[in-house]
Amino acid sequence: MPSDTIILLGAVAYDPKVVAIWEGMRDYFNDSDAPFDFVLFSNYERQVQSLLAGHIDIAWNTPLAHVRVQHHTDGKSLSLGMRDSDQDFHSRLIVRTDSGINSLQDLVGKKLAVGSADSTQARILPLHFLQECGANMNSVELVAFNTDVGKHGDTGASEMEVLDALRRGDAHAGTIGDLIWVMEQAAGHIDTSLLKSIWTSPPFDHCMFDALPTLNAEKIQRFKSALFAMRWDNPTHRRLLELEGLKQWMPPRENGYDSLRAAVAEQGCPL
């Protein structure tokens, strides 16, 4: 069990850089009079179980894990903070230029590549939003890439497989997160004569720091005070912020998860 003084945080080791991120954050928190340590998990299911069992104080969770924690605590869990980059996320529908798909209605009878079953941005929410926006998903053949299941799409591996399937012609269209699309374009990996984006989903929110309502109030205050004191214009802070992909830590908000809650219920995703 966590000690009475040290804030014990859980994070999932989806990439080797995670170690460097949280070692740096540990040093920062300890220097900020917020005694801190972390443990790494191989998947979010195990991390959520450990949080619910009280083995860790705080979990750095994906949107699906966040909704899962809320479900198992009857909405009583505490949301402590999120990145500025976690707000207003989007998914993309990418199509082959020779597919004849220029609108969502053109998906009828086509093959749609999707990411891992637990990827919010590459499968769960795009399928929900496509249906909501008028696409007849019953007429679409799904080509699924269940890579790195348990990491909730954090590695981006299944999204890269979606793009590869489109390049090979194994699918006519595919769903990926906006971040992967932008990064692949910036890296010069997108042949615009072959692939194009024809639809962007409504916004949704991504990761969140979760805690149980029984967490010691002093630990919560020390954690939030140190977290929200990080500043982009401080070079030491900036190095850590850049590693974690943000410029500013933001207070939590919940309306950005409403669409995911609806999608999970609609698709029967296990919680």
Q: What pLDDT, in 10s, does the model give residues 119-170?
A: 999 999 999 999 999 999 999 999 999 999 999 999 999 999 999 999 999 9
Q: Tell me the C-alpha distance between 174 and 229, whole Å.
A: 40
Q: Tell me the C-alpha distance between 111 and 95, whole Å.
A: 10
What pLDDT is recorded for position 185? Answer: 97
Q: Tell me the C-alpha distance between 180 and 220, whole Å.
A: 33
Tell me the average pLDDT across 218-237: 97
Domains of the chain, earliest start first: 7-86+205-267 (3.40.190.10), 91-200 (3.40.190.10)
Question: Are the beta carbons of 185 and 60 closer than 8 angstroms?
Answer: no
At which residue do the structure tokens 């269940």 appear? Answer: 146
What pLDDT is recorded for position 165? Answer: 98
pTM of the model: 0.95
- Percent of the chain surpassing pLDDT 90: 98
Question: Are the beta carbons of 250 and 83 closer than 8 angstroms?
Answer: yes
What pLDDT is recorded for position 1? Answer: 62
**pLDDT at residue 33 tops 90:** yes
pLDDT band at 4 (very low <50, low <70, confident <90, very high): confident
